[in-house]
Structure formats: structure tokens, C-alpha cells
Amino acid sequence: MSKIITTRSIKWVVGAVDEAVDSEALTSVEIIDEGAGEFVQVSQSDLDGIKMNIKINPDEWPELLNAITHALRMCQEVKP
């Protein structure tokens, strides 16, 4: 019996079009599985190149999305 082979997207990079692929200005979003099930990891690097991650369990996402959306709406515009 042959296995079905497929291609799966598991990582996306978000940022300005003109940024280098390894730029610390980019944000990575990827699906990770460390043995206990899949989750999403959002990563950015600081100016020293130290990578910082946020790990999001799919069960937590609806409430996390609500909180982030609310916080973004509450952000005030910077006045000149």
C-alpha cells in the first residue's frame, strides 16, 4: 500500500516587501508540534537578534483573539 504524499504550508513570514528574509523586522507565524499536539507559534527577533515567541493553543485562540482585537481598538492614535 502506498502512502499519500502532500505538501503542507506550516510557516508564513509577515513584513514589508523590501525586508530581507532574515530581518528582525519580520514576524513569523508557524504551526509547531512538540509531541502533545499542534499549536501556532508567533515569533519576532529583537534588535540583538534574540528570538521571542508566543505559543497559542487552538483552544485558547477565540478568547485570545477577542482580547487582542479589543486591545487594538482601545489603542489611541498618537497626536502630533
Q: Residue 65's pLDDT is what?
A: 95
Question: Would you place residue 79 in the very low, low, confident or very high pLDDT band (cuts 50, 70, 90)?
Answer: low
Q: Write out the DSSP string of 28-75.
A: EEEEEESSS-EEEEEEEE-TT--EEEEEE-TTTHHHHHHHHHHHHHHP
Q: What is the maximal distance between C-alpha atoms in the chain?
A: 67
Q: Residue 48's pLDDT is what?
A: 83
Whole-number percent of the chain with pLDDT over 90: 68
**Reported pTM:** 0.77
What average pLDDT does range 40-69 have in this prediction?
92
**44 vs 23, higher pLDDT:** 44
